[in-house]
Amino acid sequence: MSCAAGIRSKDLAAAVDRVYELCHLGTVRHQTLETLSKGYRQRVGLAQAVLHDPPYLILDEPTDGLDPNQKSEVRKLIAGMAHDKAIILSTHILEEVEAMCTRVLIINHGKIVADASPRSLKEHHPDYNAIRVTADPETLAKVSAWARENALADTRENGSLVLRPKKEKGGQPGALFLAAAAKHGWTITRVDSLPLHLDAVFAKLTGNTLN
Q: What is the mean pLDDT of each run of 10 residues along the chain (211 residues)?
A: 51 84 86 90 87 89 84 86 90 89 93 94 87 92 90 80 72 84 93 90 79 48
The residues near 187 (Cβ < 8 Å, ≥ 6 apart) are 135, 136, 139
Residue 7 and residue 1: Cα distance in Å, rounded? 9
What stretch of H or E contains 112?
strand 111-116
Closest among 7, 129, 28 to 73, alpha carbons compared: 28
Residue 121 lies in a domain: no
**In contact, 129 and 172? CB cutoff 8 Å:** yes
> What pLDDT score does 88 carry?
94
Residue 171: predicted pLDDT? 64
Give exposure, 70-96, as e/b (b: 16+ Cβ within 10 Å). bbebbbebbeebeeeeebebebeebeb
Domain containing 92 equals: 2-101
pLDDT confidence of residue 191: 92
Residue 10: what pLDDT? 60
Residue 33 lies in a domain: yes
Query: Can you tell me whether residue 95 is helix, strand or coil?
Result: helix
Q: Rounded to whole angstroms, how far apart are CA atoms 49 and 52? A: 8
Residue 206 lies in a domain: no
**End-to-end alpha-carbon separation of the chain, Å?**
59
Residue 145 maps to which CATH number? Answer: 3.30.70.790
13 and 91: one domain?
Answer: yes
pLDDT at 2: 38
Instruction: Give the pairing type, strands 131-134 and 111-116.
Output: unpaired
Residue-level pLDDT at 167: 60
pTM: 0.68
Residue 120 lies in a domain: no
14, 95: one domain: yes
**Number of separate domains in the chain:** 2
CA proximity to 46, closest of 72, 68, 75, 69: 75
Strands 56-60 and 86-90: parallel
> Partners of 61 in the beta sheet?
none
pLDDT for position 16: 86
Distance between CA atoms of 116 and 83, rounded to whole angstroms?
20
| Same domain, residue pair 84 and 166 | no
